[in-house]
Amino acid sequence: MDLPDDTPVYVISIAAQLSGLHPQTLRTYDRLGLVSPGRATGRGRRYSMRDIVQLREIQRLSQEEGINLAGIQKILELQRANDDLAHELLALRRLVDELGTELESTRAVAARLAQRRPDAPSTGAELVPIRQTGVILWRQRDH
């Protein structure tokens, strides 16, 4: 059975072994919000492989880099915020691409309509202008 990395399946004793940490350390990290494992019906903690990787990274930052837990918490918050912004940026780029495609389609329709009227512009682009609102429109085609 192949489970996703974020499936909470490991009890605290197994998660402690896999991460190389003491179970009490895992409880402390949970209380501080550094790692938030899932909960079983009886409220027991269940850790995912992603949680275990994060526990190892917390340990590395603490032991090898000498960063205190407050600093690690801030690093993790910034990483999550960065991930959220990267996802939002990707969604916005997709939306810009969709709107660009829609605009091109609308202009093509306008051009066909313009050809039916002898006094209308020939390209149709003038019938469907892009309104500039002071915002720089940026579109990257190589993504």
Q: What is the pLDDT of residues 103-134, one digit of tens each?
A: 888 888 887 877 777 665 555 556 565 555 54
pLDDT band of residue 17 (cuts 50, 70, 90) is: very high
Q: Would you call 10 helix, strand, or coil by DSSP?
A: strand
Instruction: State residue 112's pLDDT score.
Output: 80
Extended beta strands in 43-142, E state: 45-46
Instruction: State residue 71's pLDDT score.
Output: 96
Calculate Rg over the CA atoms of the chain.
26
Instruction: Find the mean pLDDT for residues 32-37.
Output: 92
Instruction: For residue 45, report the phi and psi dihedrals to the nearest 5 degrees.
Output: -70, 140
Token reading at 102 = 């829609």
**CA geometry: angle at 140 spanning 139 and 143, to 5°?**
145
pLDDT band of residue 79 (cuts 50, 70, 90) is: very high
Q: By the 8 A CB rule, do 18 and 52 touch?
A: yes
